Structure 1
Amino acid sequence: MAIDPYAPIFVISVAAELAEMHPQTLRQYDRLGLVSPSRQSGRQRRYSQHDVELLREVQRLSKDGVSLEGIRRILELENQVAALRSRVAELEREVDDARRLGGDARRIFAAGMAGDVVTLTRGQRPERSGALVVWRPRPQHDPF
């Protein structure tokens, strides 16, 4: 049975040892929002394997001369990229499902002001909210 990499199982002393850092450094990173462990009753920090890997990445970037604010921004952007990749994969599955079911696979996606993505059917218009509509032309061989 594999351990969930996001399970909060390590106390701060163990996480610090695994990340080869001082526990005070982990507390500082938590205060700065670089690595945010789970909290147990009594406000005790619990770190996951993912948190330990993230601590190692912070340490590597710091040794490469990146400031803590730069590291925070890098981690933030990496999280955004991961979320966007997940959303793209979700939309690709949706399109694949529509094709497999024989429906009209030509879809229009509207992006809202908050970055949300809405699937529209053919001929449907997005609500007037400043949304951006992405249009893809039909292939040349399609007579319709």
Structure 2
Amino acid sequence: MAAQQIGYRGPTACAAAGITYRQLDYWARTGLVEPSVRPAHGSGTQRLYSFHDVVVLKIVKRFLDTGVSLQNIRTAVQHLRESGFRDLERTTLMSDGATVYECTSPDEVHALLQGGQGIFGIAVGVVWRDVESALSQLHGERVDTGETLIGQNPADELARRRNRAV
């Protein structure tokens, strides 16, 4: 675990993703989006969500708002989970309302649009930046110390990771 790993409590995750606490709780209990930093262990323990978790919560919300069924969203989230959320910020998720497609290049997006049916897309990079902006205004928590961080920008840690990977 990173020395400065940051987690976000339920109310903060809800505010950043634009969802209700009831949705958050239901999605955690049914395994749609579970907190990866610290799951709830009985009554009174605080779930902690990672930055990636909050991005996925906001993606789920956007799909629900456009009419995609929870079953299809669940399949898409499972696929993202299995891929290890690789290049999430460079991904576009497309849907025709029945199926969710993961596109990682403009050619893949173009190929889907050639089908002639109505398609909508979620540019995950835009969602990523929205969540970064929202969380920079909210409270995070250092996992190792429990210290509350106000206005902690998750982009700082993500930028360090990207620079190391290049």
Please indicate the TM-score interval, normalised by the length of the shorter structure.
0.3 to 0.5
TM-score between both structures, scaled by the size of structure 2? 0.42
TM-score between both structures, scaled by the size of structure 1? 0.48
Higher-Rg member (1/2):
1
